[in-house]
Structure 1
Amino acid sequence: MDGGATPPVLPANPPEAVAFVVVGLLAGAHCLGMCGPLVSVYAERLSDRAGTDSLTLYHVRQHALFNVGRALSYAAIGAVFALVGGLFFGAFDSLAAIGSGVRATTGLVVGTVIILTGVGYLVGRSAAIDRLTPKPVTRVFRHVSGWATARVDRLVGGPRILGLGAIHGLLPCPIIYPAYLYAFATGDPIRSAALLALLGLGTIPTLFLYGTLLGQVSPRRRATLHRALGAAFLVLGYIPLSHGLMLLGVSVPHIHVPFYQPFG
C-alpha cells in the first residue's frame, strides 16, 4: 500500500481474547481496592434515591451503566495506545532490518513487563506493584477521585453515571498498565479497543456483586484471586515475548497472534 505503512484491521484472536477476559475476571478483586470506595459511595446514594437497600431494576441499570462506562474508557485509551504504537513502528518500516528489530525489542520489553507483573501477583507483592505508580500520577488520581466523589450525587441518578464509570480509565491501575502496553505492541487500534473492552467487561461481575450484594471480599479470597491473576498475566506476557524472540530468530513454542504487520 502506498502512502506509508498502515496496520491491518484484525479482530481479537481467540487466545488473546480469552486471556483478556480471564485477566478482567480475576482483576475484579484488585479493582475493589481502587474502585471499591467510590462504588460504595455511589451504591449508598443509589439506595437513598431508591428508598430501599434491596436490589431493584433501577440499581441494576445504574450499576450496568457505571461498568459499561469503565469498559468504554479502557477501550478508547487502549485504541490510542495502539495507534501510537502503529505510528511508532511505521516510522521504522522504511528500513526493514531496523523495523523488525524495533518490533522484536518491543515484544521482549512488553512481554517481560507483563510477566514481572504476573510474578508480583503470584508471590503476593501486588502492593509493591501499586507503589510503582509515579507520585504525580497518584496526585492526579486523588484529584480525579475527589472530584468524582464530590459530584456523585449529581452523576449517580441518571445516564450520567456512565461518565462516572468512564473516569476510571484515567485512574492509575497496575492491572491496566500492562494491557495498555500490550495494545501498544499490537499497533492495531480496532483490535486493541476490543481487547481492552473485554478486560473491562470481565471486571464487571466482581464490582457489580460488590456494589449490590457482597459489600466486601475477604482478604484470603482476594489473595487467591491475585495468585490466579498472576498466572493469567504470565500467559498474556508470554504472547508478545515469544513474538519478539521469533523475530530475532529464536524458535520457541508460541501462540499465533498477529502483532504489528504493515501491508506492503
Structure 2
Amino acid sequence: MDPTGLGLPPLAAAFVFGLLGGAHCIGMCGGIMSALTFAVPPSMRSPARLAGLLLGYNLGRIGSYMVAGALVATLGTLLSLTPGMRLVLQGLAALMLILMALYIADWWKGLLRVEALGRRLWRHLEPVGRRLMPVVRAPQAVALGAVWGWLPCGLVYSMLAWSLAMADPLKGAALMGAFGLGTLPALLATGLAARQLGGLIRHRATRNIAALSIIAFALWQLWLMLPAQGHG
C-alpha cells in the first residue's frame, strides 16, 4: 500500500511528474541544452560526443536535485512532521503543479513569484556555470549540470515540497532522482534535435496539451489523497 496516500508508489508518481513537466523543463533548460550542442566545435561534434555531453549535463543536474531532496527531507525529520502535515505538503506540491501548468500554457504567470524565491542563491551560482562553458569534455558537462540544477524552477520546488513531506533523506533523494529521470527524455531530445523541436515546443497547442495533462494528473493526485486524509 502506498504510504503517501497518493495512489501511486512515490517514485513512480515522481517519474510521471517529470515526464509531464517536460515542456516546462525545455523552456527552462532547453537553451542550455542547445548551447551545449552548438558550442562544441564542428570538428568534434560527433553524435557520440554530443550524446555523452548531454548525458553528463543531465546526470549533474539530477545529482543536484537529489542533494536538494536529501537536504529538505532532513529538515522534515527535524520538524517531526505529523501524518496530517505530510498530507498538507503533498497537497501543496500538487497545487504547485497546477500553477506550473498555468505558467506553461501562458494562462497565468503567478508561478514566477515562487521561482523568485531561489533567485538570490542563483545570482551566486550562475557565474560559476557560465565559466564552465563552452563544454567540450564530459567532466565539464557534469559540473555544469550540477550548477544549473539549482536554477529557480517551480516544478522542482513542487517536488521539494513532497520531499520535505517524506522526512527521510534517502527517500527524499530517491524521490528527486526519480523526478529527474522523468525529465530526462525531453531534455535529451531537445539537446540532440534542438532546432527541430524548438518550434514544436513553442507551439501554443503543444503547451496547452502539456498544461492540461499536468492539471489532470495533479487533480487526480489531490482526489486520491481524500480517503487517506479521512483515515489520518
Normalised to the residue count of structure 2, the TM-score between the two structures is 0.81
2:73 aligned partner = 82
Task: Indicate whether 1:113 and 2:97 are aligned.
Answer: no
1:22 paired residue among 16, 21, 28: 16
Deviation (angstroms), 1:43? 1.4
- Deviation string, structure 1 residues 209-241 (Cα, Å, up to 9, x no partner): 111114312333133112212333334455667
Distance 1:237 1:166 in 2: 32
1:149 paired residue among 117, 124, 130: 130
Amino acid of the structure 1 residue aligned with 2:210: L
Task: Indicate whether 1:163 and 2:155 are aligned.
Answer: no
2:166 aligned partner = 186
Q: SS state of the match for residue 70, structure 1?
A: helix
* Distance of aligned partners of 1:171 and 1:240 in 2 relative to their CA distance in 1, 3 Å threshold: farther
Conserved 8 A contact 1:118-1:234: no
1:226 paired residue among 211, 214, 221: 211
- Deviation string, structure 1 residues 88-113 (Cα, Å, up to 9, x no partner): 10xxxxxxxxx7xx4413422x1332
Taking the TM superposition and a 5 Å limit, the aligned residue runs for 1:63-142 are 63-89=54-80, 102-108=82-88, 110-123=89-102, 124=105, 125=107, 127-134=109-116, 137-142=118-123
Q: SS state of the match for residue 9, structure 2?
A: helix
Structure 1, unmatched stretches of 5+, are: 1-12, 90-98, 248-264
- Deviation string, structure 1 residues 232-251 (Cα, Å, up to 9, x no partner): 3334455667645432xxxx
2:33 aligned partner = 39
How many correspondences in the alignment? Answer: 218
Conserved 8 A contact 1:115-1:238: no
Structure 1's consecutive aligned runs of 4 or more residues displaced over 6 angstroms after TM superposition are: none
Distance 1:21 1:229 in 2: 13
Distance 1:189 1:40 in 2: 33
1:5 aligned partner = none
Conserved 8 A contact 1:75-1:192: yes
Distance 1:193 1:50 in 2: 39
1:212 paired residue among 192, 209, 217: 192
Deviation (angstroms), 1:147? 3.5
Deviation (angstroms), 1:50? 4.0
* Distance of aligned partners of 1:122 and 1:233 in 2 relative to their CA distance in 1, 3 Å threshold: same
Normalised to the residue count of structure 1, the TM-score between the two structures is 0.72
Q: SS state of the match for residue 127, structure 1?
A: coil
Conserved 8 A contact 1:30-1:226: no
2:155 aligned partner = 175
* Distance of aligned partners of 1:139 and 1:43 in 2 relative to their CA distance in 1, 3 Å threshold: farther
